[in-house]
Structure 1
Amino acid sequence: MLSDESMRQKVGVLLKARRSDLLDISARTDAQASFEPGGNLPFNDRSVEGVCLGDAAATLSVRDQIQLLMQCRRVLIPGGVVLCAEDDAATTYASLARWAELVGMVDLAAPRTGQGWQKREASTDTLPLVSILIPSWNPRYFLECLDSAIAQTYQHIEIIICDDCESDAIAQLVASRTSQATIQYVKNPERLHARKNYEKCLSLARGEYVKFLNDDDVLAPECVATLLGAFLNVPDLVLATSHRWRINTSSQVIGDMPATRLAVNRDLVIDGVTLANALIMHGLNFIGEPSTAMFRRRDFEKRPHLDAERTFHFNGEESLGAIDFAMWSRLLVQGNAAFFRKRLSRFRIHDAQAQAQPDVVVLSIVGIRGLQKQWVDLGMFRRFPPHLLLCQPLTRSEVKANDWRVEAVRSLRSSPIPPEEAIRVWRATRRHTFEAA
């Protein structure tokens, strides 16, 4: 590990030609280190200005290329760059471009020269606009939903409503509230249904941050302020979410189901890949429905090597019937998540919702299985068993450099094996039972 002094120098790193089974890394100081494919770069979070990848990076497996790029993103300062070096820069770039976009890097912009990618700059806006997006179709609970958006303690918001209702019932409800908030209302000329209505809402958003709100769900007044506070104080965050309530048709709180049980027992920053790993491999959405979480709009911008016309997907898998799984998996490979123990939203259970329809349930199961296959095929599951999370305290004053600790997901059945031993055994297993032969 480099000294604190060399960390302050923002070390540059060179990934050079293959040496035996290791890829050699030489820093632009006196420090020397080796990088084992699938391992970690030996630098602290956000301590490196630039990483120069030699042509050996193109010879790595896809799994190791993705891990290397995630490590580059982790150690880079905001705005730091990854450059493809040496004579085969074009080959290296072509080999890694898709995976660089997958993990949240963006192509180098002018006036920078060379082929490679940049870690996004940190936002400096201390009072950013938040877009609350309501893809609506059912007027039955709509007014309670809209009123909860209007009642947010954080007031620099816009409310965007895309109306899929076959009648003018929602339009009339919106008209009764237009004097109370900044509301952009759009009546869809023909029914878009859930996924396309989500995409339309997102296309109209102007805010730096996005908060979806389904038309039958309800936000606590401090929901936006609390989730936004995490983004303003914690670096490398791509998602903020919380514990949530279940409510019935009368807005009364009802008992938890496995997905709404408390996943962690205190406010934490959670490594994105370990959180996505638990979500995907168990097929259990303890992150929350779209109404539960907040993210940056820029993290859903179109990526030239990945997206075509689709927005909510992970490496091409759309997880039809489970749009939240597609959203969270796309985000969490780009950075980390904040999880709040306090319940900041209410998720309504009723017979008319799409999730209650048998055909949607079947579609969701198929979609989640497709997502699991993508996750396994890319080797994203290999570093941590899916019942373990890599965490830091959410309160910044408690966090030291690289102070990551392993915690078990509380809502899953506990394992008798200590976490460190479980990780060792998991990584040592050459082929897991769920991997294709």
Structure 2
Amino acid sequence: MQKTFLNIGCGRQHITGFVNMDIVKPYDRKLDARKGLPFPECSVDGIYSEHFFEHLTQAEGLGFLRECRRVLKPGGVVRIAMPDLDDLVRRYTSEDWRGDGDMFKLGFDWVENRCEMMNIAMREWGHKHVYNEEELVRIARYAGLEPIGRCRHGCSDIPELAGRETRNSSKLIMEFTLPARSSESRPLVSVLIPAYRADYFRQALTSALSQTYSHLEIIVCDDSANNSIESMTRELAQQDGRVTYIRNQPPQGGLGNYLNCFARANGEFIKFLNDDDVLEPNCIEKMLNVFAAHPGVTLVTSKRVLIDSRGERLPDLPATQRLCREDSEMDGISCANALIAGQINFLGEPSTAMFRKIDLAWVKPHFMSIGGLIGIGAGDVAMWLNLLGRGNGYYIAEPLSYFRLHEQQRQQDPAIQQQGQQTWRKFIFQGRRLGLMPHLLVWGIRSRSAGSNVWRTMQIVTSPLFLIQLRGYFRIAKERYLRRG
């Protein structure tokens, strides 16, 4: 079978047997990589680019890498060759600041000092974002690619990608591939219960123990002030060895308890369960079936039902309305865009969704942050945005969890609500910066129903606070612009 390799931003350096693509001639096929790659999903064996990536903004680079991830076949490789910011800094601080830079062979021999050299290297030829290894790995992971490693000039384990560098200034050469996905038929799922209130805890834990999918570990991290949760957990643990009880010493608080649960999880998949929520018995089984059938999906969620303190069903809020009538795969970026722009968490609280641990374990400072912003009051949304940047979402129309509303929950605290609103506003900035929000307005979500390859637009409900928050965003942007001017 003939393989497909792409040479992106080829210029005049065409590679025989590759599809050589650029925005200006000569090329085999014209391409503006900022607008996507014109290839179907899982159709490309390898992608090469030399001195192209640094000509994209950070958001454009993320968009390009997400397109690479979309079109790559399993086992496919992306190889990027570019200048290395660390090398430029070393040259700047060296006596031999000219070094072996290509600029001095390209008519820039008139450069008189290291400051001029550095500015030209950073800004000339349309450069927009220059990377070192640490930053390139970080950005690739945001896009859903994992590093194979750093490569020497011209060296690769992939024969088609070996010997391709033509520029001496290609000091940073790295290869990336799709994240490894387990081939286990029955992967371990970690059900994580960050507990601190005993009122509804027994019902929550019982719903975890009653799952039709049995290969589980159930970890209870207890942040409460008494031994009620411990007593219930140890009672049920005597009947089921899958339960592990951990007393937080000292208490970790809401965020710290989530982080503690996550750190102790051994499963490939993570299913959070708040101590006042309830899962349907087939919740985990149905979600695992989606992951098995859709390798490109990184987040599975479902319709959830609101209940009160007595377990009685409540009317839907805008955030809990059913997104669609049938199970549907959702394009990750358009879903993230709608989430931020609409200012409503229509994907659900932590108890609603499931994901692979590998897809959030790399996030710094922790998995409830996005782009360095800690999602105070909206940590679940930060999780969903990270996951949607790495792959697609999937919505199960059947209700698989119950979200309890009551006066004692942390979400009712005015201070936390205020912090949450501030975090939502900051998501607009992070979304634009990280390529998750190509549109400031909500245009719906690209989706396709189960068994279909036809993408359509799913309309969603948006928050009435959005226009107020959007005006605030433009006001802040204007103030920053005027200060710079």
What TM-score do the two structures reach when normalised by structure 1?
0.85
1:332 Cα deviation (Å)? 0.6
Say which SS state the counterpart of residue 77 (structure 1) adopts.
strand
Question: In 1, distance between residues paired with 2:60 and 2:15?
Answer: 15
Contact map agreement 1:10 1:48 (CA 8 A) in 2: yes
1:33 aligns with 2:23: no
- Deviates further, 101-110 or 344-353: 101-110
Q: 1:25 to 1:248 in 2, by over 3 A?
A: farther
Question: In 1, distance between residues paired with 2:15 and 2:312?
Answer: 58
Say which SS state the counterpart of residue 254 (structure 1) adopts.
coil
- Deviates further, 46-55 or 81-90: 81-90
Say which SS state the counterpart of residue 239 (structure 1) adopts.
strand
* RMSD of aligned alpha carbons: 2.7
Say which SS state the counterpart of residue 403 (structure 2) adopts.
strand
1:399 aligns with 2:435: no
Question: In 2, distance between residues paired with 1:269 and 1:434?
Answer: 36
Partner of 2:436: 380
Q: Report the AA paired with residue 139 of structure 2.
A: W
Q: 1:225 to 1:110 in 2, by over 3 A?
A: farther
Partner of 2:293: 233
Q: 1:249 to 1:36 in 2, by over 3 A?
A: same
Partner of 1:105: 145
Q: Report the AA paired with residue 260 of structure 1.
A: T
Q: Which runs of 5+ in 1 are unaligned?
A: 1-7, 414-431
Q: Report the AA paired with residue 61 of structure 1.
A: T
Partner of 2:58: 62
Q: 2:2 aligns with which of 9, 21, 28?
A: 9
Q: 1:145 to 1:87 in 2, by over 3 A?
A: closer
Say which SS state the counterpart of residue 244 (structure 1) adopts.
strand
Q: 1:275 to 1:52 in 2, by over 3 A?
A: same
Say which SS state the counterpart of residue 34 (structure 2) adopts.
coil
Q: 1:269 aligns with which of 314, 318, 329?
A: 329
Q: 1:11 to 1:143 in 2, by over 3 A?
A: same
Q: Report the AA paired with residue 459 of structure 2.
A: A
Q: 1:325 to 1:30 in 2, by over 3 A?
A: closer
Q: Report the AA paired with residue 97 of structure 1.
A: V
Q: 1:192 to 1:24 in 2, by over 3 A?
A: farther
Within 5 Å, give how 1:122-271 maps onto structure 2.
122-181=181-240, 182-271=242-331
Q: 1:51 to 1:222 in 2, by over 3 A?
A: same
Say which SS state the counterpart of residue 153 (structure 1) adopts.
coil
1:436 aligns with 2:477: yes
Q: Which runs of 5+ in 2 are unaligned?
A: 22-27, 88-129, 158-172, 464-472, 479-485
Partner of 2:403: 347
Say which SS state the counterpart of residue 363 (structure 1) adopts.
helix
Sequence identity (%): 33
- Deviates further, 79-88 or 109-118: 109-118
Say which SS state the counterpart of residue 177 (structure 1) adopts.
helix
Contact map agreement 1:139 1:169 (CA 8 A) in 2: yes
Contact map agreement 1:25 1:35 (CA 8 A) in 2: no
Q: 1:92 to 1:10 in 2, by over 3 A?
A: farther
Say which SS state the counterpart of residue 321 (structure 1) adopts.
coil
1:83 Cα deviation (Å)? 0.7
Q: 1:383 to 1:126 in 2, by over 3 A?
A: farther
Question: In 1, distance between residues paired with 2:44 and 2:304?
Answer: 38
Q: Report the AA paired with residue 316 of structure 1.
A: G
Q: Deviations over 1:10-60 (max 9, x none)?
A: 4111112569xxx99996269932221421111111111211122122111
Q: Report the AA paired with residue 98 of structure 1.
A: R
1:319 aligns with 2:375: yes
Partner of 1:47: 43
Q: Report the AA paired with residue 46 of structure 2.
A: G
Contact map agreement 1:143 1:173 (CA 8 A) in 2: yes
Q: 1:64 to 1:110 in 2, by over 3 A?
A: closer
1:179 Cα deviation (Å)? 3.1
1:408 aligns with 2:452: no
Question: In 2, distance between residues paired with 1:320 and 1:197?
Answer: 14
Say which SS state the counterpart of residue 66 (structure 1) adopts.
helix
Q: 1:86 to 1:300 in 2, by over 3 A?
A: closer
Contact map agreement 2:149 2:174 (CA 8 A) in 1: no
1:86 Cα deviation (Å)? 6.8
Q: 1:382 to 1:310 in 2, by over 3 A?
A: same
1:377 Cα deviation (Å)? 3.6
1:302 aligns with 2:362: yes
Contact map agreement 1:18 1:24 (CA 8 A) in 2: yes
Q: Report the AA paired with residue 404 of structure 1.
A: W
Partner of 1:420: none
Say which SS state the counterpart of residue 52 (structure 2) adopts.
helix
Contact map agreement 2:45 2:76 (CA 8 A) in 1: yes
Q: Whose Rg is larger?
A: 2
Question: In 2, distance between residues paired with 1:92 and 1:48?
Answer: 25
